Amino acid sequence: MDCSNIKVLKICQYCKKEFIARKTTSKICSDNCAKRLYKQKQRDSEIAKAVLKIEIERRPLAYMKEDELRAIQAKENLILQEAAILLNESPLTLRRFEVLKKPETVRSNISCYI
């Protein structure tokens, strides 16, 4: 059988319209849809990266490796971001504590540069 003559009815992954494919592996009806699908996938992956970045910033401890955490714990002086990681708070929260002079401010045992 000559593979170049086969015709398969398929649904385009991008526009969802039916099209006649010449290969069983075809997923897209046209070059235009292929380009748009590629751009859409790129956009989706950019969004996924941004969401992951926000997740990591929100919950730093969950994504911190043990040796990275130990290195911060061993430091005598911490920058705001490091203090935030150790306390599992956002840097913004620590800054707010500092501004409001709340008792939660963590200057007793660890010296922070806020």
Which stretches of the chain bind Zn ion, using CB under 5 A? 12, 14-15, 29, 33
Q: Would you list the DSSP string of 12-71? A: -TTT--EEEESSTT---SSHHHHHHHHHHHHHHHHHHHHHHHHHHHH-GGGG--HHHHHH
What's the min distance (Å) between Cβ of 67 and Zn ion?
49
* Nearer residue to Zn ion within complex by CB, 28 or 85: 28
What's the min distance (Å) between Cβ of 20 and Zn ion?
12
What's the min distance (Å) between Cβ of 13 and Zn ion?
8
Q: Distance (Å, rounded) from C-alpha 12 to C-alpha 33? A: 8
* Nearer residue to Zn ion within complex by CB, 19 or 114: 19
